[in-house]
Each structure stands twice: as structure tokens, then as C-alpha cells.
Amino acid sequence: MFIFKRVAHLQDWIQKKKADGRKVGFVPTMGALHYGHLSLVEKSRAESDVTIVSIFVNPKQFNDPADLVKYPKPIEKDLELLYTSGVEAVFLPEVEDIYPSHHSTAIHFDPGPAASTMEGEFRPGHFSGMAEVVYRLLDITKPDNLFMGQKDFQQLSIIRKLIEDFKLPVNLIMCPTVREANGLAMSSRNVRLSPEARDKAGIIHNSLVEAKAAFKTGASVEEIRRNVFEVFKMENFRPEYLEVVDGFTLAKVQSYNDANQIVVCCAVYVEDVRLIDNLIWKQNVLN
Ligand code: AMP
């Protein structure tokens, strides 16, 4: 496994692979890897000839500086996991490699209304920082396939728009959310939960599963939110939002017939850890 720290070295290596006709898969991460990330690697290895994983904790997407400081960085363990997963190359840039002081990496991208609700509303600046780093990483790696998790559904929707708007020649592949045994979506932040809270946090996913039937049979989003938040009235739980949205536009929907793909998304603080999750409630593929 190659570990690249410099952009030019990574690009030389990628160019050689591409010249040999190899299809490149790319998995961007912020490290503190768990099986959710490794499922993206697995998918990339199945769909591509070589897989590159980047580990970069992007300061521009943290609206809360304390969250950035607390973000876990177990780099040795991460490299070991990637090595055993059969990754060909890891990109470990410094902030200066991604945002060089001698030229601007800012992009003129309007993520549209999809960026102003949910995560966009509660984490101002998060999506512009995220879009900028993903654009920069795609510009460096120029992959054939980009693998992202459904876990961050809104992020993925915004990257889909970024790819469309800039006509980037990359195939975006969404990978399903990997969960712990109790249903809690795997996240790098879960290690900050006490064992009791981690156990209880399985209720987030289970509540979204249970609420689906009510929505399908006519319950309003208001009622669903009230009922789910009632369940979250537990010690150390503090729900932030619950929205039911069109999976393509992220516009809020009111009833089951409003869209072909319907996704419920929520954010909840458990102890001082902010957890997000979502579930696809309706998936009608139109072809
Ligand atoms: P992060 O390191 O949190 O920026 O995540 C890097 C990528 O891994 C993103 O595309 C995430 O959506 C994806 N990811 C994170 N957690 C999971 C999970 N539990 N299941 C599937 N994908 C995930």
C-alpha cells in the first residue's frame, strides 16, 4: 500500500495507473475509520481496479471549532485497517496541500435550497466547506468512481449536484449505511459516547423504522416528529431536527404520495455527541 503525502506524487502514480487502463475508485474520509468506511472500500474494490482512500480532517467543514479539536485521529490504526482491506493508495495531505496559500481553491458553486435545510441550517458553512474539499480532492485524484455513504444523505445529494453543475466525469456511487448491532449508524463520533449512551442510541434508528408505517398510513410530519421526539425524551438526549424530504431535491414533503423517493433525516445530541441518521422510506425507481 502506498502512502502519499504530496499531491504531485499521488498524481504521478494515478496517471501511471490510468495509462495502464486501470479504473480508479476514490473514497474520501476524515479518518477514525470503522466498518462503515470499509464498506465503501469494499465496494470500490469490487467496482474499480485500484482504490485510493484519502484521510483529511477538513477544517473548513467544522462550524464548531471544539468539534474539530475533539475529532479522533487514530492514524496508525486507520492505516492498518486500510492495509488489511487491500487499498492500493492512501492520500494523507496536510492542510497546506489541500488549501495552498499561494492559490485559491474556492469554487463558485451554488448548492441551492438543498443546502439550507437540516445540516445546512444547524451547521452554517458546513456544506460550502465540504463541497470545496470534495471538489479539490476530485480535481487531484480524477477518479472514475466516487464512493460515498448514505449515512450522510444530504452531503451526497449536494455532491451529486456539484458533479452535475461542474460536469465532472465521475460516477457517484451511494453505499448503504452500516450499523452497529443495536441499529445505531456507525460513526467516528460513536467512540465518544459512554457505553450506556451508545447502547441507548440504537433507539434513533429504531424510531425511524417504526415511524414509517404511520407516515405511510397518513400521519402528518408534525405528528411523526412529535411522537419520535417523545421517544427521545431520555436523559442525555436532545433532538435537533427531524425532516421528511424528497430524496432528489431534499424539499420537505408532507405525505407519502408527494415524491418518488422519500427520506427521513434527523440529528440528535446524545450526551455531547451530535449524531445524524436517515432512512429511505420510499424508493420508486422510474425508468
Ligand atoms: P467521514 O469520515 O465521516 O467524512 O465519512 C467518509 C465517508 O464514509 C462518507 O461518504 C460517509 O457517508 C461514509 N460513512 C460514514 N459512516 C458510514 C456508515 N455507517 N455507513 C456507510 N457509510 C458511512
What spacing in Å lies between the alpha carbon of 146 and ligand 1's midpoint? 13
Q: Is 37 a catalytic residue?
A: yes
Pick the CATH number of 188-278 from 3.30.1300.10, 3.40.50.11930, 2.160.10.10, 3.10.250.10: 3.30.1300.10
Segment 222-232, tens digit of pLDDT:
999 999 999 99
Residue nearest ligand 1's atom 22 by CA:
149
- Give the count of alpha carbons within 13 A of 118, CB side only: 29
Lowest mean pLDDT among 84-98, 114-128, 249-263: 114-128
The protein residue with its alpha carbon nearest to ligand 1, atom 8, reads 37
C-alpha cell at 36: 462503515
Rounded CA gap, 182 and 229, in Å?
Answer: 19
Picking from 137, 173, 148, the residue whose alpha carbon sits closest to that of residue 11 is 137
Query: Residue 52 belongs to what H/E stretch?
Result: strand 50-55
Tell me the pLDDT tens digit for each residue of 36-72.
999 999 999 999 999 999 999 999 988 888 889 988 8
Does this chain's domain 2-175 share its CATH topology with 188-278?
no
Is the pLDDT assigned to residue 14 strictly greater than 70?
yes
Q: What is the pLDDT of residues 178-220, one digit of tens each?
A: 999 999 999 999 999 999 999 999 999 999 999 999 999 999 9
> Averaged over 224-245, what is the pLDDT?
97
> CB-based contacts of 69: which residues, under 8 Å, 6+ apart?
none
Residue ranges lining ligand 1, Cβ < 6 Å: 29-30, 36-37, 39-40, 148-149, 151-152, 175, 177-178, 185-188
In the predicted structure, residue 285 carries a pLDDT above the cut 70: no
Average pLDDT score over residue span 145-150: 98
Tell me the H-state helices in 22-105. Answer: 35-47, 65-70, 75-84, 95-98
The CA distance from 158 to 131, in Å, is 8
Over range 161-173, report the average pLDDT.
Answer: 98
The domain 2-175 is placed in CATH, from the list 3.40.50.620, 3.40.140.10, 3.20.20.70, 3.90.870.10, at 3.40.50.620
Give the H/E segment covering residue 203.
Answer: helix 202-216
Supply the pLDDT for residue 287.
Answer: 41
Distance from the alpha carbon of residue 254 to the mean position of ligand 1, in angstroms: 28
How far is the centre of ligand 1, averaged over its atoms, from the C-alpha of 151 (Å)? 6
- pLDDT at res. 30: 97
Mean pLDDT on 10-36: 98
Give pLDDT, residue 286.
Answer: 55
* Annotated domain spans of the chain: 2-175, 188-278
